[in-house]
Structures are given as C-alpha cells and as structure tokens.
Amino acid sequence: MRMRTILAIVVVSLCLAGRGWAQSFDPRQIDATCSAAAPTFCPNGLAVQTSANGINPDGDIVGSFVDGLNFQHGFVRKGLQYFPIDVPGELVGRKGIVLPTSANGINPAGEIVGNYTAPVNASETDIDSPAYCPAKSAACTKGFLFSHGRFYPVHFKGHAGAIPQRILPNGDVYGCLHDFDTGLSMFGAIWTRWDGLSLAAGGGELAAENDSVPMSMNNGATPGGNIIVGLWNDMVGRHGFIVQDGVFRSYDVPSPTVTLTAIWDLNPRGQFVGTYVDATGRHGFVQNPDGSDPIQLDVTGGTNAIASGINPEGVVVGTFMIGKLSHGFVAVPLAGNQH
C-alpha cells in the first residue's frame, strides 16, 4: 500500500464500529531490572533509564533501557520479568560485543523488531551491508528482526538505515527507511514476507516497499494493513497521519495551542496512541475510533509523556520523564469505564 496524495490537514475519525468509548487510565511507572554487577552495573538492580515501546495481546512489553555504564539495551518483559535483547556484534562482523539496541514492537508469536547502532567502519562500502557505517550518522541506525532466538537484519535496498517499529501477526513489518539523516531522507516503509516464508525457518526474505510521503514513519497498522498510522513532517511541523483503504489524511490533536502531534501505534479496534505538545508541555494521548476528543495520558509526578504502544485490550505503554531521566509506564483501562 502506497501513500500517493497528501490531502488537506483534517482531524479524522475512523470508520469503525460505533460503540461507546468513554475511558480513563491509571498509568503506573515501570523500570527495567538489570544486574548491579558486571556487565551492566545497574544501581540497586534497576535501569538508569527505561522506555516502553510496544505491547502484544499477551501483555508482553518491549522497549529499551540504559544501564549504569550509559549503554543502551533492548528488553522484553514477560509477566514481571525482564529479559535483555541485545543485537550481537556478529551481525556486523564484530565478535564478542553487543550493539546498542532498542526493541520497538512485538507480535502475538513473540517476534520482535527494533533497531541497533552499528559501529563506525570506514572499510565497509556496501550500503546494503548491516555493517555499513562510514562515519557517525543516522546511516549507522539499522533494523533487526528477532525470531526464534535468532537475529536478522531488516534493511531497505539502496538505503543505509532503517527503523522497524511494528511487526504484525503475519510477520509484516512497518517502520521507516533513511539515508544519512532522519529528516528529508526518511520515508515510511513496509516489509512483507515473500510467499509466507519465515526467516527463522531458513530461506525467506522480506520484500520492502516505501511510501511516497517524505519525512514520514509508519508506526502501526491493523492486521492486513488496511489502516496504517504514523507521523510525517511538513514546513509547519510534525503531524500524525492515518491511511485508511489507501486514502491519506493528516491528524492533529484538536487544540489551538497544539504545535506537534505524532501517532505511535494502532490496535485492531481502531484505537491509536501517540504524543502531542501544547502550551502546557508534552502529553500522551489515546484516540478512540468514535471521533470523540482524545484522552490525555500523563503520569502523576512526571512530565513529557509519550504513549508508544497499545494492544487489542486497550492497554497502553509509553515513556515519561522525572527530571532528566526517562521511565516506562503501563496504563490499563479502568474497569467499568467502557461501554
């Protein structure tokens, strides 16, 4: 599916089931656990910073954390237990190390997508190599798929970098490609598995397709991909977008003081989440498909909330700040507030 036309900026309601969606949430802080000993040296066994990026129907959460040595790891949280997700250096020909990693999305089968940072390697001249990083820039930010215990590169042929954001139940991956920056060279991208082959089964590849809207990123989709959400930029600033049955519409949180909107995920029921900036600061939000006003999502005692992921049950995960440090949050819809 390609986005071919930018229409006038409008606030959109999705054409989905008509039902009552009055909701409230009680976001709770989460912080990744990691060893106080080597190699992470996490103070008191907790990460210095945590970001929660995605959640699947089982409630498994993926994200990233910064350890006591200021090194970034990916993680998956199953129940209350955290497991690190670190792209191995072997993927770029560097044995014995792990690479800075962020886990961004997880599907019902537990497959995880995200991005890693390749080390500078002036001798690698193949732009399609997972190790291509001629100098420190966005070109060093690469995509990965973690499936059945193995890591696979996710890239877009002819472009240096990629950031996979979501992986659907059928294995399709949504995110963006870029070259040496994440501005004018960034486009939304979709990777699909040819002939239903699984990379983990050996043999299968991902076929890639880019969207035609510049400075954009695909951040979520319904199963089958008939609705896609994400973010894009124009000369005015950053906006969310919704592509429904091939029709592109821009989305801004409806307020006269809003200066930025980004959509970060979408669930099968048509609820989407993201962040916006207004005169009072940055906030997370949940938009229900009935066209009602978006629900502001902030964490008590924190600032700069970003709602990053939402699962089919409406459970939201994201990130907020306390002082200069980030923490994750999980927000479950309160019982009895949806009808």
Instruction: Summarize pLDDT for 43-53 with one digit per residue, the tens.
Output: 999 999 999 99
* Residue 213: predicted pLDDT: 77
For residues 172 and 193, what is the distance between their CA atoms, to the nearest angstrom? 6
For residues 296 and 81, what is the distance between their CA atoms, to the nearest angstrom? 29
Q: Which tens digit of pLDDT belongs to each residue from 205-235?
A: 445 555 667 789 999 999 989 999 999 999 8
Model confidence pTM above 0.85: yes
Res 22 pLDDT > 90: no
Q: Could you tell me which residues are beta bridge partners of residue 251?
A: 240
Class of domain 28-331: mainly beta
What number of other Cβ atoms are within 10 A of residue 198's Cβ?
14
* Residue 235: predicted pLDDT: 87
How do the domains of the chain map onto residue ranges? Answer: 28-331
- Dig out the tokens for 328 from the structure: 């994750």
* Residue 193: predicted pLDDT: 73
Q: For residues 132 and 103, is the Cβ–Cβ distance under 8 A?
A: no
What does 144-208 look like in DSSP terms, one character per residue? EEEETTEEEEE--TT-SEEEEEEE-TTS-EEEEEESS-SSTT-EEEEEEEGGG--GGGSS--EEE
Q: Which tens digit of pLDDT belongs to each residue from 58-115?
A: 999 999 999 999 999 999 999 999 999 999 999 999 999 999 999 999 999 999 999 9
Average pLDDT, the chain: 88
* Residue 82: predicted pLDDT: 98
Cis, peptide link before residue 88, omega less than 30° from 0? no
Average pLDDT, integer, range 149-161: 93
User: Which of 76, 82, 88 is closest to 42 using CA atoms?
Assistant: 82
